[in-house]
Amino acid sequence: MYVLKERVLQMTEFLDTVLPGTLGADNVTLHVNPRFTDLRDREFFRLPVEVRYGATDRLELIGGVSPFTPNPINSGRDHRWGPGEAKIGARYDIGSRLWFYDKATVGLETRVPLGKPPVQLNDHYTHVRPFLATSRTLRRWPQTTFYTNFSYDRSVKLTERGPPPPDVERRHVGEVAPGLLYKPGELGYFAEYRFRHFQTPLENHLGHETQIGTIWDIPLWRSAQWKLPGKWQVSIGYRYTTEEGHGDSHGVTTRVSWRTTLREVLEHVTPKPAASR
């Protein structure tokens, strides 16, 4: 049986947080990240799918789509099917070149709307987002990692499209998100704070978000018992968000992530040749 490489199993993200790291040369992985919170809050259900390829030992290329389906629980205007949005991006591992941080990865991702998705999925603008993910292991507590995400999400008009919905406000968002991750084993716990600067055609304003939660990296032996390939990860977080002029919001976010290598997928779907007599 093919054993997933340690670098492929490395946790490089949870919920909306990115950690440093790339796949390594010639690795290809499939990622599926259903948004189960949609079942509670939305009239649709998202099922993002990504393929990642390690072009070199440091460079990783990403492509994916986020189709959506009708929510079996809620109904309304967005209770429908659609391709959602497309995503292309890249990450590059710059190692320990930054002062203070042990690891750092720079990246760029672009999200392009396909058709007319719900505005909660995509606001009908193309989003170009450069980012920097950094981390440092605390020497005194080696099972604890201090991490910081820096990003700038810019809304652009990439193609000729119809006008966005009237309730959509075009805006650019700069964000800094420091946090702590304690992960001594398959279970981990995190706490983070996000500072946001919103730029709109009419004004600039600020936003803040705090989040605490837990992560479960399901052991490979357990998923093997379930006859499921790949690596499974469950993340649960409680968020409290404030934005000037838009009020406060809070709630629980749940994310189930699954990733596997192309080779492992092929081994499960390709029939084995019959043994010769």
Q: What is the pLDDT of residues 163-202, one digit of tens each?
A: 777 778 889 999 999 999 999 988 999 999 999 999 998 8
The Cα 164–Cα 240 span in angstroms is 28
Residue 172 pairs with which residues in a beta bridge?
199
The Cα 257–Cα 251 span in angstroms is 20
DSSP string, 69-124: EE-SS--STT-S-B--EEEEEEEEE-TT-SSS-SEEEEEEEEEEE-SS--TTT--S
pLDDT tens, residue order, the chain (277 aa)? 445 555 666 778 999 999 999 988 888 999 999 988 888 889 999 999 999 999 999 999 999 999 999 999 988 889 999 999 999 999 999 988 888 999 999 999 999 999 889 988 999 899 999 999 999 999 999 999 999 999 999 999 877 677 777 778 889 999 999 999 999 988 999 999 999 999 998 899 999 999 999 999 888 788 878 887 788 999 999 999 999 988 899 999 999 998 887 776 666 666 666 555 4
Residues in the chain: 277
Domains along the chain with CATH numbers: 6-269 (2.40.160.40)
Cα angle 13, 124, 119; round to 5: 70
The Cα 261–Cα 170 span in angstroms is 38
